Amino acid sequence: MLAITDNGFAGKPEAIFISWLLWQPHGADLAVEALKEVQRLSRYEKVDPDIARLKALFASLAGSNRPMH
C-alpha cells in the first residue's frame, strides 16, 4: 500500500494512512495490521520526516503511546 520510491514515498503521511485504512478488509484487526506497517517502515534506516510521521500514525493505531523501533 505504501509507494516507496528512490525519493521517499508518494503522498502525504496522513493521506497514505487514510487510504490504507479504507483498503482494509471488513473485520480486519486494525491494531495488528498497523503494527505490521510499523515493522515494515522500521526497515528504513535513513528516516525521512514523512516516513517517521506515517510510522507514528500507525503506531498510534496499534495502541502504542511510545516510540516503536
pLDDT tens per residue across span 17-63: 999 999 999 999 999 999 999 999 988 867 788 999 999 999 999 99
Q: How would you class 5 by CB atoms within 10 Å of its CB: exposed for 0-12, middle for 13-18, buried for 19 or more? A: exposed
Do the domain assignments include residue 45? yes
| 1 found inside a domain | no
Domain membership of residue 5 (yes or no) is no
Instruction: Answer yes or no: is 67 within a domain.
Output: no
The whole-number pLDDT of residue 11 equals 83
Instruction: For residue 58, tell me if it sits in a domain.
Output: yes
CB 41 within 8 A of CB 3: no
Whether 20 maps to a domain, the answer reads yes
Per-residue pLDDT band for 1 (boundaries 50, 70, 90) equals very low
Domain membership of residue 69 (yes or no) is no
Q: Considering its fold, how many domains does the chain have in total? A: 1
